[in-house]
Structure 1
Amino acid sequence: MGKLQEWVAGQEAWIADALHRAAIAGVATAEDADAIAIRVQAANGIASAGEPECMVFEEGCVAAVRKAVETPLLCSIGPLAHVDRLATGQELKFALDGLTIVFGENGSGKSGYARAARRLCTSRVPIVLQGNVFDFVTSGPAEVTFSTKTGDAEPVSHNWAEGSELPDACVQMTFLDTANARLYVEDKAEILFLPPEVRCLTVMGQLYGLAAERCQTAADRLNVTHGGAIPVQLAPSTVAGALVGLLTTSTTLAKLPTADQLRAAASWDDAAAVQLSEVRRQLVSGPAAQARTLRRLGHAVKAVTDRLVATIVPLGRPAIVRDADLLQSLGQARIAADAFAAEQAGRFPIAATGSETWQTLFQFARRFAAEANIVPDDGAFAVGDPCMLCQRPLDEAASERMNAFDAFIAGEAAAAVEVAKKAVAARVTELRGLEIDTEEQVRQALAEFRDHDDESRITADAAAIASQALLQHRNRLLEHLGGGAPVDALPVIAPIFALQSAGESMIERADALEKGGGVDDASVALELELRDRETLAGCVDHLIARRDGLADRQRYLSCVSALNTRPVSKLASALRGELVTPELSARIKREIASLGIEHVPLRFTEQSASGKSFFEVALDSGGRAKKSSVLSEGEQRALAIACFLADAHVSESKGAIIVDDPVTSLDHQRMRRVANRFVAEAAGGRQVIIFTHNLLFYQEVLRACADRYPQVPALPCLIQQSEQGFGLVSVDDQPWIAKKVKERERALDAQLKAVPDNLAPDSDELRKIAKQFYTDLRETWERAVEEIVLGGVVERFGTDVKTQSLKMVDVDDEDYRVIYFAMKRASERSGHDQAAGKQIDAPGRAQMETDLMELRGFIAAHRKKTLAAGERRKDLERAPKASVA
């Protein structure tokens, strides 16, 4: 029996059902969240249409996910519509059996295609594609056409628009660019590709959260419907009044009166009516009747004002200031925990080390050390630093102890995040539990009081408006705790106290009348009991509905508590520790070594939250330090690539790896390591797509593909900008500066074939064509000198000097003459400004063909010459033979 099966065996049926759904679906869906909400509600006594059946969890449903179909490959992206300023009708294709490298200079439109790829992939930092911001005409949402291929099946085309769901084919593709790389350095990173056993717990945590939102929404809705003022005024001393008084949101489910109890207290018949009539006849006149009326009205006012006054302190200015402090504490705790999530500092000689008093004293001393410039607030204690208490220099043991204390405090700071979150959650619970009536509910509760006289009506209406303002104030406080805008002080509450005073005055007058004598207490009590029974009988069905609504509200809140993700996160941590952590940690170490940053002391940490799994590669330092303030830009980028590649291998994921300019801030040595590493991924069967504007890295990637055995197929693609627009795509094409002589010859030949036959010799169009042709011809001669004449001994974008190739180098005066005059003619016709007396007519196509043929002839002749030189010089590599007799 596996851990999942073992864990779920002791859980309720709805939990097994939730785990089954999470394992089968692989993603959190609204349908599954609804199903889980229905089942947890049924488990907590909330009726639904029919008894929902709970599915049984078995390990096999996780295995079914493990045996997934082949990973889809990304065949192409494009055409794109309403994406930046990219030209329409372009399609960027990708290699399916090797590596694709897409080159584009700054401003070419490359980044637009990279952003489109990022939007399709699983990206840690999500983006939204936008249209041309320079176009004042509003366009539709961004649209991306792309195609994928799975196994031997034919490619499938997808048409996706911003705002709609991405197809499942995109789930396993992962993306790295500067924004995503920064997350690995500045924060904890969620492990996106997990083994099915852990992944289903992540999905389960997400489903719990969605289901809890539904249950909380239902509880809030019932709070609005049934949590307001009770619409009848009953004396708390009567049986009916005592039961009805329990119909509030603060009463627990166990203490709510039952429907039978309410009906029993509302029993009413003709005999009871006759009895009430007789008692009232006896009490109809005199001070007793007036006292009863005043007391009834006073108690009705007291019931309303007691609830309102009870909310003033939790909603007042001191509470608002405390809310700001809570949020500030939470923010500071998060910053502290993120900055130095350290491990607890072991055992210390003094048992009280770690107590609240000790921590306070140490923090004061730490602050003094920073103010006195002994040790910066974020620095570590070193041997020789003055002790912040006794001022003596610290020896090695003392400095280690101080740093250990720092780490301990950091650990407490990390734990403080949970404390701060709980404090905010408790405050939210407190605010939600406040009983604040709407303006209309107050008017209804005080209907008889309002009818007493004009002054009572004015007082009640003013208090009703103040109650509505308090309700809105409470809601703004809740929004503030959820991240909304700060809230000002309480609204005007004087009318509430005026109403309270009026109610107290009526009760005092009733007391005075009763003290005047002539009041039969037993008859008064009986009349009050019978009156409340009669009143309750007239609205018992309504109050039973209120009672049922309040009961369901408590049940929904029980569902919210049952959907706490802590047990799921705890299990995810245990499973991840077995299935993920060892391999992920080891792979990160290997990646760090392969990228040449093993000299940096680093340590691997992990945690779970809301069912999600996170990891971080932190500095293994004794003090508090951020990676971004210690590591160089190059080391940060190398660390991010190491984490990205290691994370991409969790759960043996085979989805496409797509990166955009991964070598920013890297030196050439580490750039070559990165190139080799991505080529190794492609050699291992992974689809790798690289976007770059770095020509040196571009050449390193192609070199690594060629150097590997067996060689890795590479598809170069080019994105350019011209008069036709941005993002013009050329598949299986390289930038001009990277092309070899043979490829440039073909490009020049294509230019000649495109020259119209009917151009006038002196036309501006012919002059423009000739200028571009001879510019490219001159650069091709330059590349021929490097590649053919000098045999590639030294090459641009390369770091090696190929001394072995010197034996193929043979340059004589004739070579110099041909090159000199060919370059001279090309330079004169490639746009150099000429003196007025030396203007040269634009050459026609025939002249251009002649000059291109001269280049080809020179290359062919020189190749034969270098081969002969190579053969001739072989003898120089061997010792001469000795003569024998």
Structure 2
Amino acid sequence: MTETKINTEADALRDVLAWSIERPAWQRDALRRLVAQGELADGDLAELTALCKDKTLAVQPLAEGDINAQQTGAPAVALKSIRGVQNVNALAEGQTLTFLPTGVTIVYGDNGAGKSGYVRILKRACRARTTRGKEETLLPNIYERQTGPQRADLEYCAGSQVQKAEWKNGEATDALLSEISVFDSRTANVHVEETNDLAYTPYPMKLLERLVNACKAVKQKLDEEIATIKAQTPKSISDPSCSASTATGALMEALSKNTKDEALDALATLTDEEIARFGELTSDFANDPKVTARRLRAQRHRLETLRSGLQTLALAIAPVNGARLAALTSDLATKKAAAVLAAQDLSKDEPLAGVGSETWRALWEAARAYSVAEAYPEKAFPHTDEAAHCVLCQQPLGENAAARLTRFETFVQDRTQQEAGSARQTLKDFREGLKGKAVPRVDFIEERQFLDDELGNTALAAAVRDFTVRAHWRLRAMLKANADVDIPAPSLAKCGLDTVIDALETRAGALLADDESEERKKLRSELDELKDRQWLSGIKDDVLAEIERLKSIAKLENALKDTRPNTITAKNTSLSEALITERLRARFAREIDHLNLAGLAIELTQAGSQHGVSRFKLSLIQSASRNAGDILSEGEYRCVALAGFMAELATNNSGSGIIFDDPVSSLDHLHREAIAGRLAEEGRTRQVIVFTHDLPFLFLLRNACTQVDDATQKTEIALRHVQKRQNRPGHCRNEAPDKAQSAAARLKTMRTHLANTRIQHDQDPDGTNWLIIARGLIDSLRQTWETAVEDAISPVLRTFASKVDTKGFAKLSAITQEDADTMRKHYGQCSVLLHKTSDAMSPSAPTPERIEEELDALETWLAGVTDRQSKIKP
């Protein structure tokens, strides 16, 4: 950024604007608010704190249009008029208020006449500083419906060019109007501090000082928010009951915004096996070690028995047994085929079919058993002697029958039949053997209950059940198919029986070991880990909430970095060096002298710094140790503030207009007269506009402008009057108020009014309208006689003047006894006429002709005195 030489307050403001671009966004928004409002309300601080915390929120940074500052090298700017006012307070519309481009324009208005409404417009359109709560809100007419924006038309001179501008409330006006300054002692650079020191702080420095205060206020809010968040941490988090040596303890010790939810979940979530293990270890260490060890070894023995049975089942369903079933089945089929062929040869000569078949063989074997056991126990089968009977039909055996029986037995005893029978028996025995390897259902149910209830190992119970069901399923399929099947054989090793059996023995051994043994310590460590993890699972939600709190605190602490005032105070210091120059000090001393502060000598001195912000003090030269704020009266303080304002104007080399709003409130006569003289002096070279409701000050200022001597020249002056008519304020007259007009001007006004209202008399000479008009004219006439007397003695003593002008004393010699008699006569006539129109039972108003006679008498008297006085040289 290119360095810009700072000569004036306006340069400093633009330098602050350029500097602010690199400041945090919330500070740029704060600067805009401070420029617009002067101070920050609680609502502003809350919004700025939110902006500081969240950089994604939209901000309105300070911009060129906000600073409303004069520009180096700008032409002198002076107001010409303000007109077209709409919807501002209750100001009358269609009015025009004009101003002298050079000289003093006094705008007089009684309280409630509307003068302040015009001042408020100009404060917003020109360069005026406001402070929240001290500048009245610019309201529309509360008694009427607003029909459009609050606006006014401004006409001004910029150098030799006449320009027009439209002012709308809340919108930027022409930048050149910022060259016109509005003085308000409430927001002046001179101010009384809490220590009662009278301090001087140029506005750009005051702006940065308030920004420092804003940083402190936002920091305080952030600190309070952090403290509030920290106070929400439960005792279970701030003082955890877990062991520092466990993984849970390590996590709690290192808990931060970066702690991952996954790490917390992994520790806080216990599996069913871990829960069971925790129960086991808790029980182990709670009971007599020897008793527990015996119980564990009994459980181990039962598990070993269960494992042995399951191993037998696992072997039964092994593929090799499936292959064995298939081989035995195949062998039986082969041998059966050979036996069938032999049977076919046997049965071909027999009367009945089926001889040699399986059914037939069963019948034959039954017959054999009956014969050997009961019919012929001592005879070989078949018994075919002559006395023998057939064991099947019980008939005596004939020769053919005996031969058949012998033939059948020979067939049965044949080798092929023997081999087929042997193969059949072998297959049967093998199948029965496999069936015997199955776990009985009753035993299966008991073992599951043991695993579930006594051992408490649900997972192992489920694994054993799964293995057993799958193994029985495969076994049934193998027996049904008499061969191996595609159903996979389950793995007994995957059930975890071996691990559980070993763990039981390990636990039993550890329980019986010494307390200081490694086995015992390992179990204790495992118990501690599980115990802390179970504790963590119970406060998991609190820990998650604490992580979120830590994240919030981290964001707030990061935001706190943007509240550090170091850079701001450094900028304030550099501005103080540029703005508080020897030229300013000298000009300030001169302005103090001009305002005649009762002999008090005040100088501008360096007063160190406070909170990093440079301070400049207005000290009493004769008593530097005393606080000027303790010594000066309210009126003197206002004069000092005005002196500071005039010194600033003198050092910024601007010849643009100045506007004063009631500059002499709370001042005594001497200070009013001093300020009147100073403003008249300033009006000789630039535009000075004074709004006042103080009639004595109006006369003092007018006298200061019109009185001349050898060392001074006359200041051009114009008087304007803002008044209320028919309860509507803001009516403008581009002339002095009646109370401030000369007798000649008031006579002219009355003649015009009489001519305009004569018709009321012509239409109804005894009517109320004419009575009111006549009464007003006679009352004004009497007051004008008083003004004429004041005008007659003005060469020596002016109204509200604090001194007698002896140079004009000779002019009083022009006033004769006849002048005095005439004045008393006609002044008395006014009283008589007023009495007739006010207090009589039947009031009668004077005719227009009668009133005109009295006007003529006053005009003649005034012309005579004025003419004679003009001929007398001082």
Normalised-by-shorter TM-score class: 0.5 to 0.7
Matched length: 603
Provide Cα deviations, 1:809-850, integer angstroms capped at 9, x if missing partner. Answer: 54567656654543343332234789979x984222233234
In structure 2, distance between residues paired with 1:138 and 1:236:
76
**How far did 1:526 drift?**
0.7
**How far did 1:572 drift?**
1.5
In structure 1, distance between residues paired with 2:615 and 2:655:
21
In structure 2, distance between residues paired with 1:39 and 1:30:
18
Check the 8 A contact 1:82/1:142 in 2, yes or no. Answer: no
**How far did 1:589 drift?**
1.8
747-756 or 102-111: which moved more?
102-111
Q: What is residue 645 of structure 1 aligned with on the other side?
A: 646
Residues 103-142 of structure 1: pairs in structure 2 closer than 5 A: 103-105=108-110, 108=113, 110=115, 121-123=128-130, 126-127=133-134, 129=136
Extract unaligned runs of 5+ from structure 1: 6-12, 56-61, 249-255, 290-514, 878-885
Distance 1:189 1:620, change over 3 A: closer
Q: What is residue 286 of structure 2 aligned with on the other side?
A: 287
Distance 1:660 1:204, change over 3 A: closer
The aligned amino acid for 1:797 is: F
In structure 1, distance between residues paired with 2:575 and 2:635:
34
In structure 2, distance between residues paired with 1:584 and 1:572:
18
Distance 1:754 1:537, change over 3 A: same
> In the alignment, which of 155, 161, 164 is matched to residue 164 of structure 2?
155
SS at match of 2:166: strand
Q: What is residue 370 of structure 2 aligned with on the other side?
A: none
**How far did 1:25 drift?**
11
2:695 pairs with 1:690: no
**How far did 1:284 drift?**
4.0
Distance 1:807 1:643, change over 3 A: closer
Q: What is residue 682 of structure 2 aligned with on the other side?
A: 681
Check the 8 A contact 2:603/2:619 in 1, yes or no. Answer: yes
Q: What is residue 600 of structure 2 aligned with on the other side?
A: 600
In structure 1, distance between residues paired with 2:650 and 2:201:
10
Check the 8 A contact 1:109/1:719 in 2, yes or no. Answer: yes
In structure 2, distance between residues paired with 1:550 and 1:652:
57
SS at match of 1:589: helix
Q: What is residue 743 of structure 2 aligned with on the other side?
A: 741
**How far did 1:725 drift?**
2.4
**How far did 1:243 drift?**
3.6
**How far did 1:743 drift?**
1.1
The aligned amino acid for 1:800 is: V
2:852 pairs with 1:843: no
**How far did 1:111 drift?**
5.7
Check the 8 A contact 1:702/1:714 in 2, yes or no. Answer: yes
**How far did 1:752 drift?**
0.6
SS at match of 1:245: helix
Seq. identity, %: 21
In structure 2, distance between residues paired with 1:30 and 1:584:
23
Q: What is residue 766 of structure 2 aligned with on the other side?
A: 762
**How far did 1:747 drift?**
0.9
**How far did 1:618 drift?**
4.1
2:856 pairs with 1:853: yes
**How far did 1:131 drift?**
9.7
The aligned amino acid for 1:158 is: W
Distance 1:684 1:33, change over 3 A: farther
**How far did 1:729 drift?**
3.4
> In the alignment, which of 164, 176, 181 is matched to residue 184 of structure 2?
176
Q: What is residue 714 of structure 1 aligned with on the other side?
A: 717
The aligned amino acid for 1:281 is: E
Distance 1:542 1:814, change over 3 A: closer
Residues 308-387 of structure 1: pairs in structure 2 closer than 5 A: none
Residues 871-882 of structure 1: pairs in structure 2 closer than 5 A: none
SS at match of 2:23: helix
Provide Cα deviations, 1:316-343, integer angstroms capped at 9, x if missing partner. Answer: xxxxxxxxxxxxxxxxxxxxxxxxxxxx
In structure 2, distance between residues paired with 1:98 and 1:840:
48
Check the 8 A contact 1:81/1:143 in 2, yes or no. Answer: yes
**How far did 1:287 drift?**
2.8
**How far did 1:576 drift?**
0.3
In structure 2, distance between residues paired with 1:20 and 1:113:
36
Residues 430-449 of structure 1: pairs in structure 2 closer than 5 A: none
2:106 pairs with 1:101: yes
The aligned amino acid for 2:618 is: V
Residues 351-750 of structure 1: pairs in structure 2 closer than 5 A: 522-530=522-530, 532=532, 547=547, 550-551=550-551, 553-554=553-554, 556-561=556-561, 563-580=563-580, 582-597=582-597, 599-600=599-600, 602-605=602-605, 606=607, 615-619=616-620, 627=628, 630-632=631-633, 634-646=635-647, 657-664=658-665, 666-685=667-686, 687-707=687-707, 711-721=714-724, 724-725=726-727, 727-750=729-752
In structure 2, distance between residues paired with 1:191 and 1:143:
38
In structure 2, distance between residues paired with 1:24 and 1:201:
13
Check the 8 A contact 1:717/1:731 in 2, yes or no. Answer: yes
In structure 2, distance between residues paired with 1:144 and 1:614:
40
SS at match of 2:597: coil
**How far did 1:165 drift?**
9.9
Extract unaligned runs of 5+ from structure 2: 6-17, 37-43, 62-66, 289-514
In structure 2, distance between residues paired with 1:176 and 1:719:
20
Residues 815-826 of structure 1: pairs in structure 2 closer than 5 A: 815=819, 818-826=822-830
In structure 1, distance between residues paired with 2:597 and 2:268:
90
Provide Cα deviations, 1:259-311, integer angstroms capped at 9, x if missing partner. Answer: 47x8668657999975774464344467379xxxxxxxxxxxxxxxxxxxxxx
In structure 1, distance between residues paired with 2:681 and 2:825:
46
In structure 1, distance between residues paired with 2:791 and 2:73:
50
**How far did 1:862 drift?**
5.8
Distance 1:39 1:621, change over 3 A: same
Q: What is residue 311 of structure 2 aligned with on the other side?
A: none
Check the 8 A contact 2:243/2:528 in 1, yes or no. Answer: no
In structure 2, distance between residues paired with 1:760 and 1:855:
27
In structure 2, distance between residues paired with 1:563 and 1:749:
71
Q: What is residue 797 of structure 1 aligned with on the other side?
A: 800
Provide Cα deviations, 1:547-580, integer angstroms capped at 9, x if missing partner. Answer: 4762562353244145321452244235403432
Distance 1:203 1:740, change over 3 A: same
In structure 2, distance between residues paired with 1:677 and 1:20:
44
Distance 1:149 1:523, change over 3 A: farther
Check the 8 A contact 1:793/1:801 in 2, yes or no. Answer: yes
Check the 8 A contact 1:104/1:110 in 2, yes or no. Answer: yes
The aligned amino acid for 1:18 is: R
The aligned amino acid for 1:175 is: F
In structure 2, distance between residues paired with 1:648 and 1:637:
17
Check the 8 A contact 1:81/1:142 in 2, yes or no. Answer: yes
In structure 1, distance between residues paired with 2:147 and 2:185:
24
103-112 or 730-739: which moved more?
103-112
SS at match of 2:722: strand
Distance 1:663 1:813, change over 3 A: closer
Provide Cα deviations, 1:435-456, integer angstroms capped at 9, x if missing partner. Answer: xxxxxxxxxxxxxxxxxxxxxx
Q: What is residue 249 of structure 2 aligned with on the other side?
A: 242
Check the 8 A contact 1:205/1:569 in 2, yes or no. Answer: yes
Check the 8 A contact 2:683/2:715 in 1, yes or no. Answer: yes
Check the 8 A contact 1:793/1:805 in 2, yes or no. Answer: yes
In structure 1, distance between residues paired with 2:166 and 2:226:
45
Check the 8 A contact 1:572/1:608 in 2, yes or no. Answer: no
2:771 pairs with 1:773: no
In structure 2, distance between residues paired with 1:132 and 1:583:
42
SS at match of 1:734: coil
SS at match of 1:729: strand
In structure 2, distance between residues paired with 1:834 and 1:574:
72
Rg (Cα) greater in structure? 2
